[in-house]
Amino acid sequence: MLWIGTNGGGLNKFDLKKETFTQYKHDPNNPQSLSIDRILSIYADKSGILWVGIYGGGLNRFDRERERFLCFREKDGLPNDVVYGILEDSKGNLWVSTNNGLSKFNLKKGTFRNYDIHDGLQSNEFNSGAYHKNKNGEMFFGGINGLNSFHPNDIRDNLYAPPVVVTDFQIYNRSIPVGEGPEGITYLKKSITETDEIKLSYKNRVLSFQFAALHYASPE
């Protein structure tokens, strides 16, 4: 079977022996149909599942036996619904290039780990057709500002859990200073970061706290 993605005509299966086409298109009345008919990439993983990258329709998983599509979009953790390229690493993760960064999709957990320019990408925007994995497992993804190459096994997350501190305390959306505050009342005798207890009136019904994680590798 030959699988063909089109720009508006959906996904097509061509039977080389019979010389016949089977077309799979979006059906608004069928949630298990193709999400959108504009195909940018097709990839068959080790288990035989077909993955389809859609322009504006996210990442589609196609079960060829049941002929059902399962769609993953931004609401599921994908960084963007425009999926340009799909590759698979040695551990069975899919690497997906999009219009807003690169994403590693853990098929076992069903989770996405997203990367952007702060992780070293040439840009958050990649290009259609610009993806390749060589015989050594190195991956290449091209975008509007050049090319990224990497070995997936060398990409490790920082698992350090930073301490969290309270940085501001507000009553009715007004920051409370140390010492005498609104209406001559002292709520804080020292910085909110060092305060263990606050005494309030029942009249103080709207309270807000701000907090920060003390980790500076990626302030955003």
Query: CA-to-CA distance for 40 and 17, rounded, in angstroms?
Result: 26
**Confidence (pLDDT) at 158:** 82
Please tell me the predicted confidence (pLDDT) of residue 183: 79
Last residue of a domain, one of 125, 154, 183: 154
Q: Are residues 41 and 134 in the same domain?
A: yes
Position 44 in a domain: yes
**What is this structure's pTM?**
0.77
Q: Which of 154, 175, 203 is the last residue of a domain?
A: 154
Task: Tell me whether residue 42 is in a domain.
Answer: yes
* Domain shared by 106 and 187, yes or no: no
Asked whether 14 and 4 are in contact (CB, 8 A), the reply is: yes
The mean pLDDT values, 10 residues at a time, for the chain of 220 residues are 95 96 96 96 94 97 94 97 97 97 96 94 96 97 97 90 93 92 87 93 93 80
**Do 92 and 197 reside in the same domain of the chain?**
no
Instruction: Give the strand order in the sheet containing 50-54.
Output: 39-44, 50-54, 58-63, 68-72
Structural domain boundaries, residue 185: 164-213
Opening angle at CA 211, ends 205 and 217, nearest 5: 165
Smallest Cα–Cα separation from 176: which of 197, 191, 165? 191
Residues 106 and 186 in one domain: no
Between the CA atoms of 120, 124, 126 and 131, what dihedral angle is there, to the nearest 10 degrees? Answer: 30
Distance CA 193, CA 182 (A): 20
Query: Which residue's entry shows tokens 């720009």?
Result: 7
Burial bucket for residue 66 (CB in 10 Å: 0-12, 13-18, 19+): exposed
Burial class (CB in 10 A: 0-12, 13-18, 19+), 214: exposed
